[in-house]
Amino acid sequence: MAEPKSIVYVDEDVGVDEASVPGTEAQPFKTVVFAYIQTQGAADYLTRKSKTGTVLEGADKSALLEWKPAAKSALKKAVNALQQHQKKAAREKELAVQRQKEDKARHAAFEEAKKIVIEEDSSLPKAKRIRLDDQEDIKLRSASAAGDSVEERGTRIRVFGRVHNLRKQKDVIFIELKDGYGKMQCLLTGKLAKTYDALTLTRETSIEIYGELYEVPPGAKASLNRELHADYFRIEPIWKAAGGEDAITTRVAPGADPTTLLNLRHLTLRGDKASAVMLVRDYIEHAFLSVYRSLRMRKVSPPALVQTQVEGGATLFKFDYYGETSFLTQSSQLYLETCLPSMGDVYCIEKSFRAEKSLTRRHLSEYTHIEAELDFISFDDLLDHIELVISRVIEMILGDPETASHIKRLNPSFEVPKLPFLRMRYSDAIDWLNEHGIENEDGKTHAFGDDIAEAAERRMTDILNQTVLLTHFPVEIKAFYMQKDKNDPRVTESVDVLVPGVGEVVGGSMRMDDYNELMAAYKREGIDPEPYYWYIDQRKYGSSPHGGYGLGLERFLAWICGLHTVREACLYPRYMNRCTP
């Protein structure tokens, strides 16, 4: 006689589908399918819905607790599910066996590969160490060279770098190497491609490669139209980069969200775009230094830790300085002014700090401020100077082939600003905004005295689509130190430079040079003049008509490189709630 089947219980309301559940009356499963798969169909299945089941009208609710044999339809479904389950399990077993086989083969291949030892061939010419963009005294073997005569050979070089891109084929490994100066296509073939280090090579691994330089074959493309045919390479154990789940391509995958990219900025910086922006930034700083030097301006380095404000108390970062309240500087302007008598025209490239409590695409908490101060000038001289410096810097950066090629790739539609820049008074801008139906922040028409908000300013610049020197802002909306216009004391001799896509990149003005006027300005603004004694003294010991400006390097870079936000223009951006990495 066949053994009586065991009974398995299913309560669709309170049961639990888990392998650890015994399927007893006290601990039933939840579904017939799960119970059936667990017991391989070898039981009798009793079911109930102890809470939601239907009972005949008038019957006692306790009828819900009665167990009934599983319905035929439920069993049929369970049989199908069991079959599927068994098939899937068999497939998985097969795959596991296959994987095991492959792992074993790979392991064996690795063990074999480890036995391959490569050495530099001492009979080859001595390799010349170069950077990846070096071209001086370098010969390429022609792609069509037939023989191997000494005259036909390319220069034998050695290069250090990191693996930027990697393509492994059966007998050849293509490496795109980068070293911060350029890129080079390198080919590992023959024994080199079969070594353990070659088989396990990952992106960002550091490597030294020796070999001969060839022209790229017709139709192929590579940086500087050359490629390195390796005859030897070397990877120290600590030079290897993580692979698998930890590979750089997994951690900063294309299309990753901006927060991840910012948290992993140290890795993002290794990418093509971020590194190009940083290289353009480097050259722009160099261009400013060089243009300023050509104008006989002197570089100074004012302090970052200060006890005076320049651009209003709202954006001051305060800190405790040995028990005294101090600030991170908002601008070095006041210090630059003190240099004029002894140094002539001066400039600085320093950090400025603003506790901006808004997250816009052009505000940072820490930014690089290029500031200049010029002595014995008129307001028109100041405007001419700003126009000259900006156009010379742009001319210089576009004249550098490497920088120009980065800019072309980053911002193909960049247009060199036409000279002269459009000069527009603030009061005319207010009329222009109203004529174009652009409202102020309260949704009203603009009125004289309004601060032109970021959105309105950007719209105006985008419509005008040219570089604008916006001048003569009202006294009330500008800083305490600005010189009033002699012909209209309601306004200051001030200027903002606006550029398409970004808006304001420069803020400048003539400075109040009269002692009494300056003291009255402190009073008007409610600023205690005491900590400014050194600034005020400039008006006591040989005052002069002078003025200057500050240019935000990140905004300037965002304009040139067509960046959506100034955050991309910083090495490690600092803005509200981000002070890492």
Amino acid code (one letter) for 120: E
Query: Quick check: helix, strand or coil at residue 563?
Result: coil
d(C-alpha 250, C-alpha 316), whole Å? 40
Q: Are 383 and 547 in contact (CB under 8 A)?
A: no
Angle between helices 553-561 and 272-294 (to 10 degrees): 120
Both tokens assigned to 44: 């009798």
Per-position b or e across 539-578, b if 16+ CB within 10 A of its CB:
beeeeebbbbbbbbbbbbbbbbbebebbbbbbeebbbeeb
Please enumerate in sequence order all residues whose Cβ is within 8 A of that of 85, keeping only pairs 6 or more positions apart, or say none: 37
Q: Are 460 and 488 in contact (CB under 8 A)?
A: no
- Does the footprint of ligand 4AD cover residue 461 (CB under 6 A)? no
Query: Measuring CA to CA, how many Å separate 540 from each of 479, 522, 536?
Result: 21, 16, 7
With CB under 6 A as the contact rule, the residue among 458, 504, 559, 563 that binds ligand 4AD is 504
Between 110 and 319, name the residue whose CB sits nearer to ligand 4AD. Answer: 319
Between 65 and 359, name the residue whose CB sits nearer to ligand 4AD. Answer: 359
- Does the footprint of ligand 4AD cover residue 552 (CB under 6 A)? yes
Between 9 and 367, name the residue whose CB sits nearer to ligand 4AD. Answer: 367
Give the nearest distance from C-beta 473 to ligand 4AD in angstroms. 10
Between 230 and 310, name the residue whose CB sits nearer to ligand 4AD. Answer: 310
Q: Are 511 and 546 in contact (CB under 8 A)?
A: yes
Give the nearest distance from C-beta 130 to ligand 4AD in angstroms. 39
- Does the footprint of ligand 4AD cover residue 354 (CB under 6 A)? yes
- Does the footprint of ligand 4AD cover residue 549 (CB under 6 A)? yes
How many CB atoms are closer than 10 A to CB 434?
14
How many CB atoms are closer than 10 A to CB 492?
26
Amino acid code (one letter) for 323: G
Give the range of 136-144, 180-188, 364-372, 407-415 binding ligand 4AD by CB under 6 A.
Answer: 364-372
Question: Under rule CB under 6 A, how many of the chain's residues touch ligand 4AD?
Answer: 25
- Does the footprint of ligand 4AD cover residue 483 (CB under 6 A)? no
- Does the footprint of ligand 4AD cover residue 331 (CB under 6 A)? yes
Give the range of 28-36, 57-65, 243-251, 367-375 binding ligand 4AD by CB under 6 A.
Answer: 367-375
- Does the footprint of ligand 4AD cover residue 281 (CB under 6 A)? no
With CB under 6 A as the contact rule, the residue among 367, 421, 426, 473 that binds ligand 4AD is 367
Q: Give the max Cα distance, the chain.
A: 121
Between 48 and 546, name the residue whose CB sits nearer to ligand 4AD. Answer: 546
Look at the block and give the residue holding tokens 């980065």. 406
d(C-alpha 185, C-alpha 41), whole Å? 62
- Does the footprint of ligand 4AD cover residue 492 (CB under 6 A)? no
Give the range of 97-105, 161-169, 241-249, 500-508 binding ligand 4AD by CB under 6 A.
Answer: 500-508
Residue ranges binding ligand 4AD (CB under 6 A): 310-311, 330-331, 333, 354, 356, 363-364, 367, 369, 371, 504-508, 548-552, 554-555, 566
